[in-house]
Amino acid sequence: MLQSVELKDYMLKNPVKVKADADVFDAIKSILEYKISGVCVVDDENHLLGVLSEMDCLKAILTAMYNEETSVGSVKNFMTTDVFSVSPHADIVDVAQDMLKRGYRRCPVVQDGKLVGQITCRQLLRAVEEFSRS
């Protein structure tokens, strides 16, 4: 079954990301285009600032509709900033357990404060599938 291995071997090395000042609709376009459930939010130096999920986007749209606003607004107004992130050298089993306990579908991978990847439930399932064949 799944052995203890470093996360860097299974993480997405180039996750979809947006800037905090991007329009929410630009983030939604990326979410739909890449068929993902959320995006990482970074600054100009690729420091992780937060995560914007599909649910955050729905909240943004409904808030704008309720307030009869003509614009939804910026990602920074709706992103989650209290983000659980991990090192690329973290143990994949430990990360899977933490994600399950917290109910997270994705986890940014950060090294020296900068976004270097992302691990998702799908990558974890691929790792399990790969180890089941060996």
- Residue 2 forms part of a structural domain: no
- The per-residue pLDDT for 32 is 97
Total structural domains in the chain? 1
- Residue 15 forms part of a structural domain: yes
Is pTM beyond 0.85? Reply is yes
- Residue 67 forms part of a structural domain: yes
CA–CA dist 22, 99 (Å, integer): 27
Q: What percent of the chain has pLDDT over 90?
A: 70
Domain with residue 37: its CATH number is 3.10.580.10
CA–CA dist 84, 105 (Å, integer): 11
Identify the residue whose tokens are 């905090």: 20
Which is more confidently placed, 78 or 71? 78
Q: One-letter amino acid identity for 39?
A: V
- Residue 1 forms part of a structural domain: no
